[in-house]
Structure 1
């Protein structure tokens, strides 16, 4: 089986999350297949690089792909969205803000706000979290949060300038206020810790969740000396 199957609670009551580790040259991304155990309808989050892994995960789960959730428009998060949407005849969801800022277009693209909707029996709750990009969005499905490049277990995504860093601080602060401690965090990348850590652990260990004001957060996030070899040490 391609990917590791994670089912943290009773599989007949909660969505099933399959972690798909995708690689392309020097890049490693984490995609997620989320399956409703009752209807076997599924969504995939930020699909990129290895389409055969998505196909195999769907076959292993005996699931139907009913939609594609995009956290933002960077290539390593949207790479497979168009071919998968065409192959499985399903929508691609992205925030209106990200569509407007990025110019991303696809035949089956659907712009969304923070209004929830249902796939199978799963409630999809978008949470707008700008900072890394103007329209970054996280998706909460049951006790699982899919964060793209907003929040990693070890840090947070790159911010291009001070205003973006201020936005990132506000977004992370919002997540701190709305997430339950047992929420599982599934980021787009891992820098040492495996996806699926509970938020109470991330909150305790992640230095970017410790700042009390946007100015000090921005100064640290944009500090000098963050070359490529140190960019994701986060300290």
Structure 2
């Protein structure tokens, strides 16, 4: 098993590299376009072949590296069937399985932050995107978000998993890297021991500014990261 957690400081995005050590087949989850050269270098250094580029949702705060990675490696792309990115090679639904080497990733739909959010479950861990963060959750005030749907997704789909299940989020703004279902179920300030009505009230009063890159990121990510801008792959 190969596992790496990578970080983009500009958008506070976590990207995850998973690989089957026996076959060298690899997966990247929630890539950032500006780091494509670094991903390719890392794959080369580790002797890995990228098979899949997975998105937890169509992002509003950064542009995915999916299109560039597909071009350079032949990897296939995955988004939710409800995500709006029709260009993806696989549009995942409930219990879609992503195979790489002898490994399997299971898709769990977790809409709410956006209608097309999914969580990826692999071995003892889940990759939750913006549905469940460490001590928080994604906002629901744009891009078709719905607070009630998010509450149902987290409490009904994620909090029912074993307590020891590791939680790897799509973002963190405080330097936290990993949590677990038991911890989030017991201590998450927005969701632990909170009624649906109280959660709806909290989410309705966040009053957050729009994501800085939303006007460029959304259309680019609906096109799987295809833009007219060039990516610097110097040194790869």
TM over 0.5: yes
Does residue 190 of structure 1 match 2:172?
yes
Superposition deviation, residue 193 in structure 1 = 4.5
* 8 Å Cα contact 2:159-2:185 kept in structure 1: no
Does residue 70 of structure 1 match 2:70?
no
Rounded Cα–Cα distance in structure 1 between residues aligned with 2:150 and 2:78: 21
Does residue 109 of structure 1 match 2:89?
yes
**Counterparts of residues 33-48 of structure 1 (less than 5 Å):** 33-48=17-32
Q: Deviations for 1:86-138, whole angstroms, at most 9, x for unmatched residues?
A: 11111101111112xxxx243x5321112223211111100000111011001
What corresponds to 1:58 in structure 2? 43
- Greater mean deviation of Cα atoms: 85-94 or 190-199: 190-199
- Cα RMSD of the aligned pairs, angstroms, is 2.1
* 8 Å Cα contact 1:66-1:119 kept in structure 2: yes
**Counterparts of residues 16-35 of structure 1 (less than 5 Å):** 16-24=2-10, 27-35=11-19
Q: Aligned pair count?
A: 206
Identify unmatched segments of 5+ residues in structure 2.
210-236
Secondary structure of residue in 2 paired with 1:207 = coil
What corresponds to 2:72 in structure 1? 87
Superposition deviation, residue 85 in structure 1 = 1.1
* 8 Å Cα contact 2:56-2:128 kept in structure 1: yes
Identify unmatched segments of 5+ residues in structure 1.
1-14, 229-235
Q: Deviations for 1:11-68, whole angstroms, at most 9, x for unmatched residues?
A: xxxx3220111234xx221100011122111100010031122123212322110001
Does residue 199 of structure 1 match 2:181?
yes
* 8 Å Cα contact 2:159-2:181 kept in structure 1: no
Does residue 208 of structure 1 match 2:185?
no
* 8 Å Cα contact 2:191-2:199 kept in structure 1: no
- Greater mean deviation of Cα atoms: 196-205 or 44-53: 196-205
Rounded Cα–Cα distance in structure 2 between residues aligned with 1:134 and 1:69: 16
Rounded Cα–Cα distance in structure 1 between residues aligned with 2:6 and 2:174: 16
Give the TM-score of the pair, scaled to structure 2: 0.79
* 8 Å Cα contact 2:113-2:145 kept in structure 1: no
Q: 1:67 to 1:136 in 2, by over 3 A?
A: same
* 8 Å Cα contact 1:132-1:168 kept in structure 2: yes
* 8 Å Cα contact 2:27-2:51 kept in structure 1: yes
* 8 Å Cα contact 1:18-1:57 kept in structure 2: no
Q: Deviations for 1:131-173, whole angstroms, at most 9, x for unmatched residues?
A: 1101100100111111111111120000027970000000011
* 8 Å Cα contact 1:211-1:217 kept in structure 2: no
